[in-house]
């Protein structure tokens, strides 16, 4: 089967970046720098997620994973690649080959990983190890993305202030533009003002987190090693990560048991879980609309009741 010309142009662009020294430095790009050409021999679409299309590319240097999306000029894939690289210093992620744009299509080219069954306990332990090392400050050095929505960067040593101003407030502003009720918006802004009350006796440290940790964004290598992909990386209260794992059905019990054994959660987590998942529910409203409006409104009112 002849491969589409467009896929070859992504490979050509990636190899050119590598040879100009503009691609990430890792074992895969070092190996690709030595090839005479990176030629496409076959391709197979693998049903991308809600945001991007995905394909496995068979090349003369082995299989690679390609994500594509219409180029919006916002640097979504380069930012994702840098987030993957940052996580990769602490936990297994795909190596990044290159990110760029060709003929109006943005792309992210990654190492292809053969995946096997997930070891839930190994994932919980690996996540605890990722979160255990305190970082310098909350936030991130650049804007990146949560799904297709912007996720604001900036750094702050006050977590409640950062979470209110750089996470909840922008989502509420976008939700107002997309038709979330004025009642919900006003209540959400009251909640932001009340955020310090949730941290009166809990003082989190900045931890490096994946940032969009639901079931489709992790896996395991064939030897059981946990692997993460599709991140929205930043430094946060680690509880925000664990809360996200519970939002859409939850992970297996073994994950939580292993995590708690290595890095126990504070007793107030059950309340703050709702606070942290509000960010993702608002984001889903901004992406998809629908029933997320009622869910966000209920969460906001539940949280306000906690501080009255």
List, by residue number, the catalytic residues: 212
Q: How far apart are the C-alpha atoms of 39 and 12, rounded to whole Å?
A: 8
The label of the residue with tokens 């939850």 reads 250
Cα 5 to chain centroid, rounded: 30
User: 258 near 124, Cβ under 8 Å?
Assistant: yes
Nearest alpha carbon to residue 289 among 190, 174, 209? 174
Return the SS3 of 37: coil
Burial of residue 127 (CB within 10 Å: 0-12, 13-18, 19+) is buried
Q: Which residues contact 308 (CB under 8 A, 6 or more apart)?
A: none
Q: Which two tokens stand for residue 187?
A: 């209540």
Q: ∠191-194-196 over CA atoms, to 5°?
A: 130
């Amino acid at each position: 089967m002849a491969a589409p010309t467009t896929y070859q142009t992504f490979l050509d662009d990636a190899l050119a970046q590598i040879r100009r020294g503009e691609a990430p430095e890792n074992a895969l790009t070092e190996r690709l720098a030595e090839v005479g050409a990176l030629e496409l021999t076959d391709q197979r679409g693998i049903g991308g997620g809600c945001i991007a299309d995905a394909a496995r590319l068979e090349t003369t240097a082995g299989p690679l994973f390609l994500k594509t999306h219409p180029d919006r000029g916002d640097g979504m894939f380069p930012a994702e690649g840098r987030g993957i690289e940052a996580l990769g210093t602490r936990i297994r992620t795909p190596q990044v080959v290159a990110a760029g744009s060709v003929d109006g299509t943005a792309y992210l080219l990654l190492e292809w990983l053969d995946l096997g069954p997930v070891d839930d306990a190994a994932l919980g332990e690996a996540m605890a190890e990722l979160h255990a090392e305190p970082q310098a400050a909350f936030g991130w050095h650049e804007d990146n993305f949560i799904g297709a929505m912007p996720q604001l960067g900036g750094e702050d040593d006050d977590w409640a202030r950062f979470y209110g101003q750089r996470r909840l407030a922008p989502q509420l502003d976008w939700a107002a533009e997309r038709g979330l009720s004025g009642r919900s918006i006003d209540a959400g802004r009251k909640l932001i003002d009340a955020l310090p009350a949730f941290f009166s006796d809990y003082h989190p440290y900045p931890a490096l987190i994946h940032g969009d940790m639901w079931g489709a964004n992790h896996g395991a290598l064939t030897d059981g090693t946990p692997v993460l992909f599709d991140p929205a990386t930043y430094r946060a209260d680690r509880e925000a990560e664990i809360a996200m794992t519970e939002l859409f059905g939850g992970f297996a019990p073994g994950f939580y048991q292993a995590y708690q054994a290595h890095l126990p959660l504070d007793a107030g987590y059950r309340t703050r879980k709702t606070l942290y998942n509000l960010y993702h529910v608002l984001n889903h409203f901004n992406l998809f609309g629908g029933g997320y409006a009622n869910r966000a409104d209920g969460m906001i009112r539940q949280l306000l009741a906690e501080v009255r």
